[in-house]
């Protein structure tokens, strides 16, 4: 009891030798209208349908994105890494591009940058910037994993978020990854992810 199996150990069940499951890391550029879950009783579209051809691996979403949020989502069967990436104490960076229903005022921009008191506590982005000259698209860097946090920050000041896209997650970007497509992480990216924490 309590013995941790070493990579050099041979584990048998009856006469059958058990092979450790191969760790798989899939990066998806999630489109709108897919929910981040492994299955849905209401039979809505799930992200698992998009990565179905990634192989016979049982992979799970790491964290979540709202149905209407697009962008980077990591899926893996590495439970230990998934737990570390989603734990708030590890301050994993995420960058979002936020499209608003109207231009953000300088006053609200400064207020968000300084930090906002929401119903579940204070939140201060790590960085904030204007993406378009009309001030209607804003970039926000944040490490909080609180539910709908980016939308709630802007809603607090009376803006409606018309589009929300996660453009960076834990150092991974959407470079060469079209919406709705996925790719396996390269070994060096996996090493970087593990080194982050």
CA distance 95 to 80: 23
User: For the chain, what is the mean pLDDT?
Assistant: 92
- Per-residue pLDDT, 7: 65
Residue 95's pLDDT band (cuts 50, 70, 90)? very high
Average pLDDT over residues 7-34: 83
Beta bridge partners of 116: 123
CA distance 29 to 146: 21
Burial of 192: CB neighbours in 10 Å, binned 0-12, 13-18, 19+: middle
**Predicted TM-score (pTM) of this structure:** 0.87
SS3 for 12? strand
Residue 17's pLDDT band (cuts 50, 70, 90)? low
Please check whether residue 157 is in contact with residue 85, taking contact to mean a CB–CB distance below 8 angstroms. Answer: no
Compare 146 and 54 and report the one with higher pLDDT. 54
CA distance 195 to 122: 29
Strand pairing report for 94-100 and 69-76: unpaired
- Among the options 9, 33, 53, 66, which is catalytic? 66
- Per-residue pLDDT, 3: 78
- Per-residue pLDDT, 18: 67
Q: Is the pLDDT of residue 19 over 70?
A: no
Beta bridge partners of 142: 94
- Up-side HSE of residue 187: CA atoms within 13 Å toward CB? 1
Burial of 60: CB neighbours in 10 Å, binned 0-12, 13-18, 19+: middle
- Per-residue pLDDT, 71: 98
Q: What is the DSSP letter of 35?
A: B
- Per-residue pLDDT, 165: 98
Active site residue 66: yes
CA distances from 20 to 48, 74, 79 (A): 23, 21, 14
Structural domains in the chain, sorted by start = 21-88+174-196 (3.30.70.580), 93-169 (3.30.70.1560)
Q: Percent of the chain having pLDDT more than 90?
A: 74
Instruction: For 100-148, write each residue's pLDDT tens digit.
Output: 999 999 999 999 999 999 999 999 999 999 999 999 999 999 998 788 9
């Amino acid at each position: 009891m309590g013995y941790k199996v070493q990579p050099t150990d041979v584990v048998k069940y009856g006469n059958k030798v058990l092979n450790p499951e191969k760790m798989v890391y899939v990066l998806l550029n999630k489109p709108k209208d897919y929910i981040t879950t492994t299955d849905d009783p209401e039979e809505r579209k799930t992200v698992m349908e998009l990565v179905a051809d990634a192989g016979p691996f049982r992979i799970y979403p790491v964290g979540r994105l709202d149905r209407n949020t697009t962008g980077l989502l990591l899926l893996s069967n590495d439970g230990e890494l998934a737990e570390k990436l989603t734990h708030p104490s590890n301050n994993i960076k995420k960058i979002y591009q936020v499209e608003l229903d109207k231009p953000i005022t300088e006053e609200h921009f400064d207020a968000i940058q300084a930090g906002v008191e929401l119903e579940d506590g204070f939140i201060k982005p790590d960085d904030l910037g204007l993406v378009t000259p009309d001030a209607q698209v804003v970039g926000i860097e944040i490490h909080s994993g609180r539910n709908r946090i980016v939308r709630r920050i802007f809603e607090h000041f009376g803006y409606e978020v018309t589009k929300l896209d996660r453009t960076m997650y834990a150092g991974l970007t959407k470079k060469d990854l079209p919406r709705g497509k996925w790719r396996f992480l390269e070994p060096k990216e996996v090493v970087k992810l593990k080194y982050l924490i």
